[in-house]
Amino acid sequence: MRNPKIVFIGAGSVVFTQGLLADLLAYPELHAARIVLHDIDPERLRVAEAVAHRIAAERGARPEITAEPDRKIALDGADFAINMIQVGGHDATVTDFEIPARYGLRQTIADTIGVGGVFRALRTFPVLDAIAADMAAVCPDALLLNYTNPMAMNVWYLSGKVRNVVGLCHSVYWTMQGLAELVGVPYDEVTYLAAGVNHQAWVLRFERDGENLYDRLDAAVERDAELRRRVRVEMYRRLGHYPTETSEHSAEYVSWLLRHDAEIDRLRIPVGDYVGISAENVREYERTREAVRTGAELPVEGTGEYAPQIIHSMVTGTPRVVYGNVVNDGLISNLPPGCVVEVPCAVDGSGVRPTRVGALPPQLAALNRTYVSVNELTVRAALEGRPEYVRHAVMVDPNASATLSLDAIWRMCDDLTKAHGDLLPPELRTTLVS
């Protein structure tokens, strides 16, 4: 595959686009790639194009870079499509926090499960339908690399609509970087295995040359009282395996924490954290836009993300192992078939091949199955046009069900349905209580 065509869908996420391009163009074999940037926001698309040219110059690369506002034209003949859209942007994120907060429901990130994750998925699905239709028409064999959250719900929804799709997240990689530093072992000397679901996978093996590095982690936790004030360290101590997503994320996927003021204080849980992160993302884009306007220097820094590694491996045949979110076709035996799981994947010139992990420890699978239930109900709500399934998804969500009454859950879903309006699938715009 010489000079692959790589399409960025949602390239107006300029800072993320910038990091991915820096990684892609660090590979000499990709210096002549055809890169097409697509976004529905003309200004953001112009900024992304300018940034892409500057990164290429910094890397000494001569890719063919174009900006295309028509998604179907952008995708025509693509080999790879990278999806990183955020439907509704910052305003929709604020809505996902403010309305539940009126009911007393606390969230931290609200992009994976929980009521925030459910409604983020529902407003993303119609755009995924359009992307899938375009790909079927003009690039049916392209590999879709999805970064858009909620990862598991989006990949599950796409799995019946796109021939080749893999969801990518940096959580396993950065978790293992952090753990290696914590136990004082260079990352390159660590071997590990993780598996589960996105943002709630588990480190099943953590070793160096046969040494169980969990023993070193236990010692580090024992001697550092502040380390014990982290949600995922608490989960590790109770469950026996370290979770692969941050404490901020992990806090809202369980029922034991956010309803309790004392636990929020003890474990330093930042309620509403993503609203600030989202606002900072907007400011970062504005700083990048200004740097483009004035000609100021822009950082060209790699991210270690998996999409550039996968593309390089498939183009050159270089073997690698990455972590991907894929349909569970017997990969994790005690999670439901057809759900989306996060497992190691071998990549080379023949494509991406998920690894069969077997059974998770039962306590980990039990937590993952609750997460999967929220996913399933949300996906089926959209596929079958069943607005009651939206409410059922929130009813089984651990954080919402531990905090709110049934009536409050249904009224909250009605309020969010009204607030997001036309962003939702038409069949799901119905309110059921008010």
| Tokens encoding 175 | 């978790």
User: Is position 392 annotated in a ligand binding site?
Assistant: no
Contact assessment for residue 139 and residue 78, using Cβ atoms and an 8 Å cutoff? yes
Q: Whole-angstrom Cα distance, residue 147 to residue 81? A: 11
| Tokens encoding 327 | 């349909």
| Tokens encoding 252 | 């809202």
Q: Whole-angstrom Cα distance, residue 255 to residue 403? A: 8
Give pairs for 417-421: CB < 8 Å, separation 24+. Answer: 417/387, 417/390, 419/95, 419/99, 420/88, 420/92, 420/95, 420/119, 420/122, 420/123
- The helix (run of H) or strand (run of E) holding residue 181 is helix 171-183
Q: How many CA atoms are closer than 13 Å to the CA of 302, on its beta-carbon side?
A: 12
User: Is position 199 annotated in a ligand binding site?
Assistant: yes
Of 53, 170, 241, 260, which is the active-site residue? 170
Q: Look up residue 141 and give its amino acid.
A: D
- The helix (run of H) or strand (run of E) holding residue 352 is strand 351-354
Contact assessment for residue 73 and residue 137, using Cβ atoms and an 8 Å cutoff? no
User: Is position 241 annotated in a ligand binding site?
Assistant: no
3-class secondary structure, 184: coil
| 141 burial type by CB count under 10 A (0-12 exposed, 13-18 middle, 19+ buried) | exposed
> How far, in Å, are 150, 328, 404, 415, 417 from residue 411 at the CA level?
23, 34, 11, 6, 10
Q: Look up residue 218 and give its amino acid.
A: D
312 is catalytic: no
- Phi/psi at 331 (nearest 5 deg)? -75, -45
- Going by the DSSP 8-state scheme, the letter that residue 165 receives in this structure is E
- Which parts are annotated binding residues for substrate? 149
Active site residues: 170
- Which parts are annotated binding residues for Mn(2+)? 169, 199
